[in-house]
Structure 1
Amino acid sequence: MPAPVLLWFRQDLRLSDQAALAAAAQEGPVIPVYVLDDSVPRSWKMGGASRWWLHHSLASLDESLRRKGSRLILRRGNSAGVLAALAAETGATKVHALGHYEPWWRQAQKAVAGRVDLHLHDGTLLLPPGAVRTGAGGMYRIYTPFARAVMEHMPPADPLPAPQGIDAPGHWPESDRLSDWGLLPSKPDWAAGFGEVWSPGEQGARERVEAFLDKADAYAIARDRPSGEGTSRLSPHLHFGEVSPAHVWHRACAAKGDPSIFLRELIWRDYAHNQVCVLPAYGSQNAQGAFDAMPWRDLREAKRDLAAWQQGRTGYPIVDAGMRQLWRTGWMHNRVRMIAASFLIKHLLIDWRHGARWFWDALVDADYANNSVNWQWVAGSGVDANLFSRIMAPLVQSEKFDAAAYIRQWVPELAHLGDKVIHDPDAHSVRPESYPAKLIGHREGRERALAAYARMRG
């Protein structure tokens, strides 16, 4: 029997359109392995909500592999050390994997390649970072010209089907038990409601794609309205690689209507990963150095306001609905994410990094590139970002995008209020005692933010 090869899974937990699996399967027996590595990411190790998703996605992947005559080996520790030891233990001569672009995965790939014969393949993005470049040969920093350049290379190649079977090694190495990893919360089980909303795994991802196709023609307008199911909700499936962006692209183009707005969201995902390749510390450092002088409030003063924001107790119904949806489901509607982020940064004048870290722990789709670039876009500190002086008015946004039903769903204290008053109960003198007053008025918060911005600019 030929020597086995290792298939290193990370955020690519699927069998279809999996170039690393296809390459490994052509060489002989395959040993699929997932390494739970908290040592390389360090402070960026997966948050609690992501770990819940990972548990169920790994269980689904193992079931899929077993149907193909294979199985998933689970190991925990430093990726390079674990894979090198597993190669020595099994006699494996190669490791195949999809390339990943977060700074810790780039570091891990370099370390793995220094100890075993590592072969990286494309497939986590539409195009690998750097595949499109400016006329001067540099990386694009602005989204719009980047998107135009990507479109010249679209559509992506047709997705690869899953293999009919996967050759097994003569002897399987020992594997950890998934239940022993403690990925699921228990005391308390704050993720109890996640399973009512999500179906992690490749099958769940495929079903989510098909469900979206039925309403894709309304996406351009419906995506901004939190009271409806207008978004695709594919973000966690894409983050964990349960479905390839190429598959999503082709299926979206097959749907009725114009898919261009949705396709630009897929390209934004590529854009964000390109940015963190250029600036690996995008999640912790201002992309625009001028923002290092921003006079954010000291958390010793702002701690209670931060906690109120995290708990959905700000007195702004649209913000509170979003923060409570996040806690209950591990996800938040995209329009509301922008409103909630803007409120923290500008109305409460709290450093964007505190909000980004909360999202990192609470989101099932917590993606380093997307999360970091999106937060810095709202803050105005990103490479391509909204101006800090453009301050969202959450009460206006709530009414404009018809969020009344959304608020009723997630803020039950206000469920009895009518559409005209639910967006701002205080202004209509109908705020119930069980619902908090505003932490700060809109005008007061706006003026404080603009004054801080003026001081930053000197």
Structure 2
Amino acid sequence: MRVSVVLFTADLRMHDHPPLRAALAGGGRAVPLFVRDSGIATAGFGAPNREAFLRDCLADLDAGLRSRGGRLVLRSGDVVEETCRVAAQVLAGEVHVSAGASGYAQRREERLRAALERDGRRLVVHEAVTTVLPPGAVSPSGGGSHFAVFTPYFRAWSRQAPRDPLPAPRAVRLPERSVASDRMPVRGGVRGLSPGLAVGGEKDGRRRMTAWLRDGLAGYEEGHDDLAGDATSRFSPHLHFGTLSPVELVARARGVGGPGAAAFERQLCWRDFHHQVLAARPETSSADYRPRGDRWRDAREQAADDVAAWRSGRTGFPVVDAAMRQLAHEGWMHNRGRLLTASFLTKTLYVDWRVGARHFLDLLVDGDVANNQLNWQWVAGTGTDTRPGRVLNPVRQGRRYDPDGAYVRRWVPELADLPGPAVHEPWTLPAEERARYDYPEPIVDLAAGRDRFHRARDRG
């Protein structure tokens, strides 16, 4: 009887799960295992919103496995130690795991392989489980480990055929030797959650996928930047925790076809792009991909009040404040909102992108090192953006992507009575009329902020 351990990480699903299918192939028996990694908690990535969503995912995965005759074994501690312990208890010959892109994931994989080999066991790493294509699957024709610019990466990526998605196993056979498991935690035990936090788990993810591919995909190309329209898929938390497969999403979107599917696929490619950058340059989780010699304003001294206003959604720029308040309430933010709030912090206020990235990681349920850190760098002009000097004007952005002001009125209710375009520029109202609204004056002059940024970059 062949026995394997399947170590779940950022792939908390049964559909399209190559490690699980490989472990069960040919009548094999498997121990599905998830280790609550003490290293992640120590590194400060255990934010309440992600912890609650994770608990939903674990409970849902356990229920799905049980419906097929299996169960999820939950352990806490060092991933390598706990995985080796379980493998020894069930006399497993192999451990199957999905490849990760971050430096932490790569080091964890190396440690696990070495520890298993010492015990006479084998680590089997499966690619293209958390991304459409594995990092490194396409590389620049002129040499180099990765693409540094998105457009040529997208062209090369588009020429590749992803693997076919796999169905969920009909049965999960456990080994005769049983192993102890921690009790499944519940969301109710997590404090400090965003009030509007979404539900986690593969069941909810697949429900959302089916509904959005049917009703939302066709309008995605035209509507995905509409702040009030909320026409994005909202799949990012499910992609982060792996309750949805990016390979399956591409396959199903292509099955629908049309401009919306093409635009959606491009966004999934952006996700792959950032993962291949991080896999090749793990240090970019905290270091500039392309240093610009910035001497950022100190967030604890020079810019302390500005950063506090930005975090609390009280900058005096309604669309920025609306997006920051959405983040606080939902643990999620519209993609257009992420771009403009990041530009405002890094370029208009000239504050280090790492300050903003940390705040986002504290709240985002989809807080992902590759996408969060590298998107922040892209906006700050220290990453892969080919136009590092661009500055997004929040007033113009608001008028363009929230023309009726509905997004602002939803999240900044103190401005709900303002008519039409005035909602994006309340400071232009007469003083006596402004006094009726409990809303701050702008914390910075946009032109002055833009000039300060360009002068600082020119000096760098």
Which TM-score bucket, shorter chain as reference?
over 0.9
> How far apart are residue 263 of structure 1 and its match?
0.8
1:42 deviates by 4.4
CA deviations on 1:85-113 (whole Å, 9 max, x unpaired) are: 11222222211111111110110011010
SS at match of 2:10: coil
Are 2:398 and 1:394 equivalent residues in the alignment? no
Distance 1:41 1:385 in 2: 31
Give the AA of the match of 1:25.
L
- Match of residue 191 from structure 1: 194
- Confirm or deny that 1:204 pairs with 2:204: yes
Q: Distance in 2 between matches of 1:132 and 1:161?
A: 26
Which residue matches 2:440? Answer: 436
Question: Does the CA contact (< 8 Å) of 2:298 and 2:304 recur in 1?
Answer: no
Q: Distance in 1 between matches of 2:106 and 2:220?
A: 35
Q: Any stretches of 5+ residues in structure 1 without a counterpart?
A: none
**Counterpart in 1 of 2:111?**
111
Residue 238, structure 1, aligned to residue 239, structure 2: yes
Aligned equivalents of 1:360, 1:40: Cα separation in 2: 13
User: Is 2:152 the counterpart of 1:145?
Assistant: yes
1:132 shift after superposition = 0.7
Which of 281, 284, 306 pairs up with 1:282? 284
Equivalent in the alignment of 1:59: 59
Residues 193 and 18 of structure 1: CA distance in aligned 2, closer, same or farther (over 3 Å): same
Q: Deviations over 1:98-151 (max 9, x none)?
A: 111111011001101011221011211111111111223422211111111111
User: Which of 438, 449, 452 is residue 448 of structure 1 equivalent to?
Assistant: 452
Is contact 1:4–1:90 with CA below 8 Å preserved after alignment? yes
The 10-residue stretch of structure 1 (424-433 or 359-368) with the greater mean CA deviation from structure 2? 424-433
- Structure 1, 14-23 or 296-305: larger mean CA deviation: 296-305
Distance 1:104 1:183 in 2: 29
Who is 1:361 aligned against? 362
CA deviation after TM superposition for structure 1 residue 270, in Å: 0.7
4+ runs deviating over 4 angstroms: none
| Matches for 1:330-349 after TM superposition, within 5 Å | 330-349=331-350
Q: Which residue of 2 aligns with 1:82?
A: 82
Counterpart AA for 1:162: A
Contact conserved, 1:388 with 1:453, CA < 8 A, in 2?
no
Partners of 1:52 and 1:191 within 8 A in 2: no
Cα distance in 1 for residues equivalent to 2:387 and 2:354:
17
Q: How far apart are residue 40 of structure 1 and its match? A: 5.8
Cα contact 1:200–1:237 (8 A) shared by 2: yes
Equivalent residue letter for 2:302 = E
Match of residue 269, structure 2, among 262, 267, 276? 267
SS at match of 1:179: coil
- Residues in 1 aligned to 2:333 and 2:40: alpha-carbon distance in whole angstroms: 28
Distance 2:278 2:44 in 1: 14
The code of the aligned residue for 2:6 comes to L
1:219-234 map, 5 Å: 219-234=220-235
Equivalenced residue count is 446
Distance 1:169 1:7 in 2: 12
Shift of residue 215 of structure 1? 2.2
Residue range with higher mean Cα deviation, 278-287 or 422-431? 422-431
Which of 163, 183, 188 lines up with 1:177 in the alignment?
Answer: 183
Cα deviation, residue 41, structure 1: 7.4
Query: CA contact under 8 A between 2:5 and 2:32: conserved in structure 1?
Result: yes
2:126 paired residue number: 121
Q: CA deviation at 1:298?
A: 4.9
For the aligned residue pairs, the C-alpha RMSD in angstroms reads 1.8
Alignment check: 8 A CA contact 2:348 2:449 kept: yes
- Which residue is 1:19 aligned to? 18
Matched residue type, 2:233? S
CA distance in 2, matches of 1:45, 1:38: 10
In structure 2, C-alpha distance between the alignment counterparts of 1:339 and 1:179, rounded to whole Å: 36
> Match for residue 352 of structure 2?
351
Q: Is the 1:40–1:78 contact (alpha carbons within 8 Å) kept by the matching residues of 2? A: no
The CA deviation at 1:433 is: 4.0
How far did residue 307 of structure 1 move? 1.6
Structure 2, unmatched stretches of 5+, are: 117-121
Aligned equivalents of 1:84, 1:379: Cα separation in 2: 42
Task: State the partner residue of 1:69.
Answer: 69
In the alignment, residue 140 of structure 1 is paired with which amino acid? F
Which amino acid is 1:30 matched to? A
Aligned-partner Cα distance in 2 for 1:289–1:396? 29
Letter in 2 for 1:449: F
CA distance in 1, matches of 2:423, 2:199: 32
Task: Call closer, same or farther: CA 1:352–1:184 in 2, change over 3 Å.
Answer: farther
Matching residue within 132, 141, 146 for 1:135: 141
Report if aligned partners of 1:41, 1:104 keep a CA contact under 8 Å in 2: no
- C-alpha deviation, 1:294, in angstroms: 3.0
- Which residue in the other structure is 1:102 paired with? 102
TM-score normalised to the size of structure 2?
Answer: 0.93
Give SS of 1:95's match.
strand
Give, as a single letter, the amino acid of the residue that structure 2 aligns with 1:167.
R
TM-score (norm 1): 0.93
Matched with 1:10 is 9
Q: 1:298 to 1:236 in 2, by over 3 A?
A: closer
Q: Is the 8 A contact 2:409 2:416 kept in 1?
A: yes
Residue matched to 2:119: none
Query: What CA deviation, in whole Å up to 9, does each residue of 1:162-199 have, x standing for no partner?
Result: 0110101223211112338x89532xx433321xxx23
Distance 2:256 2:40 in 1: 41
CA displacement at 1:295 relative to structure 2: 3.8
